[in-house]
Amino acid sequence: MLSLPGDRATVAPFQPPALPLDRGTLGASPPTSPPALRQCGTGTRKTLPNGSRIPYYCENHWLCPRCSKRYLRDVAEWSHLMLTRAPSALAVTLTLGHRSSTPIAEAFEALYEVKREFHRGGGWSRLMNTHGVVGFQLVTEFTFSEETGPHPHFHGFYFSKQASSFDAESLADALVQRWVHSAHRLGYEASTGSQSAVIVPARSRARMASYLGKDHADNWWPHDGRDTIGSIRRRAVHLDPYARTLYDELVLATAGRDRTVTTPNLAGRLAAAADSRSRC
């Protein structure tokens, strides 16, 4: 884990330096952070006819402290709303095996490749029909340690239209087994013991939804002894060469990549499921 100097009040405004790609070394012409990230919050996007101004946001949901915090807060609030509308839901953690030698970009690509395999084909359609799965929402979280390397993984929810007949244990086992099978099919490491799928009790909806909002770039506290995007960014601010390298890898790994993966029209699907139940 990378240690954190000082306290939060001493952090200067973030101006990402040029960062090398080889960890632990300094290159001559490394890529730099997106210019929009450095400009976020410095001006206005446009002025309305009534004189009010729309602030400029870079909309980088991974690395910008302002935009990632705002975005993940909205994701958590929307997830809570969907949980209140779904008869039942499972909270999941889906991950792959990870090694210290794996580049961050490769770890991200592996995770998203397995996700695509997981959610397609006849096997996924049968799982949805068997267990009444209406849809899902997944959010990517990232942690890192020098010992075990980069660890991007998914947290999120799978929503079911079944209520009293909802077999949570059966669905949880089906999701975990399919994720591990999808990973092995593509040649990646994954074990059933590293995945998690638990039912969301009604009294815990708000707390479990809020968990999706914690991995923003303004949260510089390590998580379970592992560094996060926020703690790596903080070290980069203080010009730690290794953290600067990791940050640059994150810039490349997350460029153009969606932070969340959600079933299209999930709210409409849940509404249709509720309407179908009311007619029974």
Q: Which stretches of the chain drop beneath a pLDDT of 50?
A: 1-32
The pLDDT, as a whole number, for residue 167 is: 78
The pLDDT, as a whole number, for residue 142 is: 97
The pLDDT, as a whole number, for residue 237 is: 82
The Cα–Cα gap between 151 and 94 comes to 11
Residue matched to tokens 């009311």? 278
Q: Which residue type sits at 9?
A: A
Length of the chain: 280
The pLDDT, as a whole number, for residue 34 is: 63
Q: Give, to the nearest 10 degrees, the angle between helix 168-185 and helix 121-131.
A: 170
The pLDDT, as a whole number, for residue 15 is: 37
The pLDDT, as a whole number, for residue 165 is: 54
The DSSP output letter for 6 is: S
User: Are 177 and 92 contacting, i.e. CB atoms less than 8 angstroms apart?
Assistant: no
Could you report the per-residue pLDDT of 80-96, keeping only the tens digit for each? 999 999 989 999 999 99
The pLDDT, as a whole number, for residue 20 is: 31
